A = this chain, B = another copy of it.
Amino acid sequence: MICRITDSPIDMDELTDSLDSPELGGLCTFVGKVRNHSAGQGVTHLEYHAYPEMAEKKMRQVAEEIEERFGVAHLAMAHRVGTLAIGDIAVGIAAASAHRDAAFKACRYAIDRIKQIVPIWKKEFGEDGVAWVEGCAVDAETAEPQKAQNQRV
């Protein structure tokens, strides 16, 4: 199982190849790329920052949650950090299972959950300036996310 923070380009083939097995009929992948727009304004590039050790630990937690919830043990996920251009892959996820329903659910849960609990931050450089994109404030007591506001810098 791959749970990786990396400053190199993400190779989806590597992620999917890591899951290859003759009993797995369904493979669902998600690729998150840097868009040229965000909340109606143009974006020129992004910086992704992470707390790498904790981020990989939390990714492994996401994988454990997925195995518990959906019985899917064949997962690979990688998130890139550093400066990314439009079109670069920021995050890649692959989930394989005997049947498609579990593969889709695992992949969807992975990206949603990564955005909630994996300590990665996105700084957006756009037409209107620079902002930290802050999706989820983690509630200290429950370690569960709640909606946050972006911080302009």
A50 nearest CB across to chain B (Å)? 19
Q: Which residue of B lies closest to A28 (CB)?
A: B30
State the interface size on chain A (CB cutoff 8 A).
Answer: 28
In the complex, whether A108 has a CB less than 8 A from a CB of chain B is: yes
In the complex, whether A2 has a CB less than 8 A from a CB of chain B is: no
Residue pair A111, B107 in contact (C-beta under 8 Å) = no
Using known A-B contacts A20-B87, A87-B20, A87-B22, determine if residue A32 contacts B104 with beta carbons closer than 8 Å. no
In the complex, whether A24 has a CB less than 8 A from a CB of chain B is: yes
Residue pair B104, A35 in contact (C-beta under 8 Å) = no
Interface residues of A in 16-70 (CB under 8 A from B): 16, 20, 22-37
